[in-house]
Amino acid sequence: MDNNLEQITFGGGCFWCVESCFNMLKGVQSAVSGYSGGHKDNPTYEEVCTGETGHAEVVQITFDPKIISYAQLMDVFFFLHDPTQLNRQGNDIGTQYRSVIYYKDEAEKAKAEEALKKSEESGKWPGKYVTEVTQFEKFWPAEQYHQGYYNENPTQPYCSTVVGPKIQKFKKHFGELGMLNEA
C-alpha cells in the first residue's frame, strides 16, 4: 500500500450500499466489502449470515488523507446508517449488521470516539448510539460477487428498493458538498 494512503474499516449494515457510496468519494482509492470482528478464518457470506461467526459486514476503505479526512469519512459513515439500531439496519436483522468502527491504534480510537460523540450530539439520529468502537484484528474480503454489487445489480429487488434510494440521498447531499468524483 502507498505510504501516503490510510485505511479505515467499519460496518454500517449491509455492505452493498456502504461500499458503493464510499467508492464515489474524492480521495477514496477503494472501498472493499468484507467481514471483520469474528472468530472464524476466511468466513463465507452464508456463514456470516447465520450470525454464528461473530463477524460484521464491513467495508475497508483505502483513502488519501490529503484529499479526504478521517472526520469526513466518519460524517459519511454516520450519514449512511442509523447508529441507534442495535444489530440491525431496517429490515436487515442480526449481529452481522451492527454499527461498528474498527480502530488500529489508540490515536485512531480517540478519533473514532470523538466522531461518534460529535455525531450523537448533532441530533441527526434521535436516541442513544449503539455503535461499537472495537480493536481491529483482521479483514476478510467478501466474495467477488459482493464487490460493486449494487453497480452490477441495480434492478435486483433489494438494490432497487433499499440501496438505490439510499445512494440517491447520499449523492444529492455529498454532491452538493463537492465531495464526489466526476461521473
Q: What is the pLDDT of residues 58-103, one digit of tens each?
A: 999 999 999 999 999 999 999 999 999 999 998 899 999 999 999 9
Query: How many helices and strands, by DSSP H and E, does the chain display?
Result: 7, 8
CA angle 16, 154, 99 (to 5 degrees): 20
pLDDT (0 to 100) of residue 183: 66
Model confidence band, residue 44 (pLDDT cutoffs 50, 70, 90):
very high
First to last CA, the chain: 26
Model confidence band, residue 23 (pLDDT cutoffs 50, 70, 90):
very high
pLDDT (0 to 100) of residue 86: 96
- Percent of the chain scoring above 70 in pLDDT: 99
Model confidence band, residue 108 (pLDDT cutoffs 50, 70, 90):
very high
Model confidence band, residue 1 (pLDDT cutoffs 50, 70, 90):
low
- Rounded to two decimals, the pTM is 0.95
Model confidence band, residue 182 (pLDDT cutoffs 50, 70, 90):
confident
- Which residue has cell 467478501? 142
Query: What positions carry a catalytic annotation?
Result: 14
pLDDT (0 to 100) of residue 15: 94
Give the pLDDT mean for 123-152. Answer: 96
pLDDT digits (tens, 9 = 90+) for 116-137: 999 999 999 999 999 999 999 9
Q: Is residue 17 over pLDDT 90?
A: no
**CB neighbours of 156 closer than 8 A, spacing ≥ 6?**
none
Give the pLDDT mean for 20-42. Answer: 97
